[in-house]
């Protein structure tokens, strides 16, 4: 007959508790391993540049100065400048949402979020230098979007745009 030390004998409750802990530990170790692998993969993409070009676009000359985005990387045009009435505006949309383009004078175009800050109704293009909300009559300055008359409590949000090759694009 063998005797065992009472400290070595596990109860049913202890055995089932250990059975639950082992799968949990394996799961946590597995998650930690996957996270580490993902982090290492994301940080290193081979080469000394980490996958990003920091200098010129010409791969044959890594020391060439960076000249900004290539024309093919410019965002798609929102509108042609000539399609925006001089002294007026044009409501356009793209993948990022609607934009009210305003052309107060030749060679100048501004962009605004066309949603009235009062209740989100789309404002109308300007007439006589004023943008009006058709819902409750809030009025905004067409050159800078500032509030001229409520019930809106603030002006229109600007959306940066610029003229590029006779087109208006997001800046």
- Read off the CATH number of the domain in which 83 is found: 2.102.10.10
Tell me the C-alpha distance between 102 and 73, whole Å.
Answer: 25
Confirm whether 2 is domain-assigned. no
Q: Looking at residue 28, what is its pLDDT? A: 47
Residues of the chain with pLDDT under 70: 1-74
Query: In what helix (H) or strand (E) does residue 105 lie, and over which residues does it extend?
Result: strand 97-105
Q: Looking at residue 53, what is its pLDDT? A: 35
Q: Looking at residue 78, what is its pLDDT? A: 95
pTM metric for this prediction: 0.58
Number of domains making up the chain: 2
**Sheet with strand 139-141: strands edge to edge:** 130-132, 139-141, 147-149
Alpha-helical segments (H) within the chain? 12-43
pLDDT tens-digit profile of 41-90? 444 444 444 433 333 444 455 554 444 444 556 678 999 999 999 999 99
How many other C-beta atoms lie within 10 A of the C-beta of residue 92?
18
Q: Looking at residue 46, what is its pLDDT? A: 45
Q: Looking at residue 56, what is its pLDDT? A: 41
Determine the structural domain holding residue 147 and report its residue range.
73-170
Q: Looking at residue 63, what is its pLDDT? A: 54
Confirm whether 44 is domain-assigned. no
Same domain, 90 and 136: yes
Tell me the C-alpha distance between 86 and 102, whole Å.
Answer: 8
Helices vs strands, H then E, count in the chain = 1, 9
């Amino acid at each position: 007959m063998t005797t065992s030390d009472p400290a070595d004998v596990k109860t049913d409750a202890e055995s089932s508790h250990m059975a639950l802990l082992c799968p949990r530990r394996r799961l946590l170790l597995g998650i930690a391993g996957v996270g580490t692998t993902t982090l290492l993969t994301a940080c290193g993409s081979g080469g000394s540049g980490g996958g990003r070009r920091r200098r010129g676009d010409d791969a044959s000359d890594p020391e060439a100065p960076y000249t900004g985005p290539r024309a093919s990387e410019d965002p798609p045009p929102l509108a042609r400048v000539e399609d925006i009435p001089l002294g007026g505006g044009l409501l356009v949309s793209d993948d990022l949402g609607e934009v009210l383009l305003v052309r107060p004078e030749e060679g100048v175009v501004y962009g605004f979020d066309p949603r009235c800050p009062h209740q989100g109704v789309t404002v109308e293009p300007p007439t006589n230098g004023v943008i009006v909300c058709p819902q409750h009559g809030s009025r905004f300055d067409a050159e800078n979007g500032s509030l001229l008359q409520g019930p809106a409590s603030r002006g229109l949000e600007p959306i940066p745009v610029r003229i590029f090759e006779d087109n208006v694009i997001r800046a």
